[in-house]
Amino acid sequence: MGRQGGAGDGRSVRRAALLVLVVAACTAAPRPACEADGPLATICGFENPEDVAYSREHEAVVISEMRRGDAGGALSTLRPGSRTPRRLWPQTRLPGIEAGPAAGDPSCAPPDVAVFAPHGLFLAPAGLYVVNHGGRESVEIFRLDGVGEELEARWIGCVELPTGTSGNDVAVGPRGEVVVSNPSAPGGLLRASLASVLGLHTGDVLLWKAGSGWRRIPGSESSVPNGVAISADGQQVYYAEAGAGQVVRLGPDGSERTVVQVPGRPDNLSWSDSRTLRVASHESFLALAACWRGGPCRAPWAVYEIDAETLAVDRRLAHEGEKIGAVASAVSVGNRFYLGSAFGDRIGVWSAEEGGS
């Protein structure tokens, strides 16, 4: 585990890619329509809604839509209990951009709205932090105003990632420090995912502080690092290593590294109200990789909760992917869990009291 790649590994990656293409050549049947009822309901009207975050203050679930191809992506919002998503940013009726950056790197210019490609999300007291791949690799920062259906977002700043890196998930600490997972070189996530089958390191975890910039967290070199989280006191960083099927805890200086295995390929991390870590995990690499070809994605998945201190892992929900595939994130709102998917046209709403399906 954790080897660096060589010529032989490159050939193995190509063979793995060929296998995925063979699997992807199979035509997927149409997916059932979205369902409003049941323990696992679905809400349509999205494009690749991978990450979800909930703001109690603003009474809204925020969803990132990283559209593929030439079309720009968007941030959307959904009031809990509603089934009608609404565009949050960019909005044609609003400027949506403050004059000059008020957060992040003071030299950062506004993003190119036409190619905006949002990925990971994090809600902090200072605003909404969003990993962006469109036009640049960056963390974009937005101020949120309003409640529910009246929620508005305005861009207030950003931090560009170091050259040769790309972001996936983002978390913000109590002193404004920003942590980002760097799974691969820009545009190389699919190849990195294939390389992870061989246990190769493909990236690491980065930390940014105002005044000192970016640095790599020692000991975070890993196979497709994905979801990230920070403890409330900022003394512990957590990240999901998808390629190794584990979640890692370590200090911002790389100290006291501890690992716990999580079945499958763990994706985004989020905190629950009880301060356990919630992680969605993909249960079949081939099914997940085949979803890159487009069409209905039926990759199976599960949701786990991890005790932040003991790292005990509890499986909460598993699904074969028929209603919604490739679930990559989960946040709780009361007794409901909102589930983001890396592919497709829908999010999931799991009613924990009814037990899921």
Confidence at residue 117, expressed as pLDDT on a 0 to 100 scale = 95
Distances (CA, A) of 238 to 40, 64, 232, 337: 28, 22, 12, 21
15: how many CB neighbours lie within 10 A of its CB? 12
State the first-to-last Cα distance of the chain, in angstroms, to the nearest integer. Answer: 35
Tell me the CA distances in angstroms from 85 to 3, 56, 228, 265, one per residue in order: 44, 17, 26, 29
* Separation of CA 161 from chain center: 17
Place of tokens 């959904």: 78
Q: Are 67 and 87 in contact (CB under 8 A)?
A: no
Q: Is 229 exposed, middle or buried (0-12, 13-18, 19+ CB in 10 A)?
A: buried
CA distances from 225 to 28, 74, 201, 222, 345 (A): 29, 24, 9, 6, 25
Largest CA distance in the chain: 56
The amino acid at 316: R
pLDDT at position 104, please? 93
CA angle 229, 55, 74 (to 5 degrees): 85
Task: Compute φ and ψ for 111, nearest 5 degrees.
Answer: -75, 165
Other residues' Cβ atoms within 10 Å of the Cβ of residue 155:
26
CA–CA separation, 63 and 75 (whole Å): 6
Q: How many residues does the chain have?
A: 357
Per-residue pLDDT of the chain (357 residues), as tens digits, is 344 555 455 555 555 555 554 454 455 678 889 999 999 999 999 999 999 999 999 999 999 999 766 668 999 999 999 999 999 999 877 668 876 678 899 999 999 999 999 999 999 988 999 999 999 999 999 999 999 999 999 999 999 999 999 999 999 999 999 999 999 988 888 888 888 888 899 999 999 999 999 999 999 999 999 999 999 999 999 999 999 999 999 999 999 999 999 999 999 999 999 999 999 999 999 999 889 888 899 999 999 999 999 999 999 999 999 999 999 999 999 999 999 999 999 999 999 766 554
What's the rounded Cα separation, in Å, for the pair 303 and 89?
Answer: 28
Cβ pair 154, 86 in contact under 8 A: no
Tell me the C-alpha distance between 55 and 61, whole Å: 6
* Alpha carbon distance 331, 49 (integer Å): 13
pLDDT at residue 11, rounded to an integer: 54
Pairing of strands 346-351, 40-44: antiparallel
Nearest residue to 287 (alpha-carbon basis) of 277, 274, 297, 275:
297
3-state helix, strand, coil in the chain (%, to 5): 15, 40, 45
Helical H runs in 47-132? none
